[in-house]
Amino acid sequence: MIQEFAVRPVPKNQNARRVFFILLGAAAIAVILSYFVSAYKGIVQLGALILLVASVLIYSRYLGSSYSYEVTRDSEGTPIFLVTQLSGKRRTALCRVDLSDIVSIEALTGEQYRSYKPESGFRRYNYTPTMGPDTVHLMKVCSRTENAVVFLELSEEYRAMLLSFAEEAKAMRGADDED
Q: Which of 31-35, 37-41, 105-109, 171-175 has the lowest mean pLDDT?
A: 171-175
- Per-residue pLDDT tens digits for 40-89: 899 999 999 999 999 999 999 889 888 999 999 888 888 999 999 998 88
Amino acid letter, 112: Q
Which residues is 91 bridged to in the sheet?
A: 86
For residue 27, how many other CB atoms are within 10 A of its CB?
A: 20
102 burial via Cβ count (<10 Å: 0-12, 13-18, 19+) = buried
pLDDT of 122 > 70? The answer is yes
62 burial via Cβ count (<10 Å: 0-12, 13-18, 19+) = buried
* H helix or E strand, kind and range, residue 104: strand 102-109
With contact defined as beta carbons under 8 Å apart, do 100 and 169 qualify? yes
Residue 9: its pLDDT value, please? Answer: 87
With contact defined as beta carbons under 8 Å apart, do 162 and 81 qualify? yes
Sign, CA dihedral 33-37-41-47, equals negative
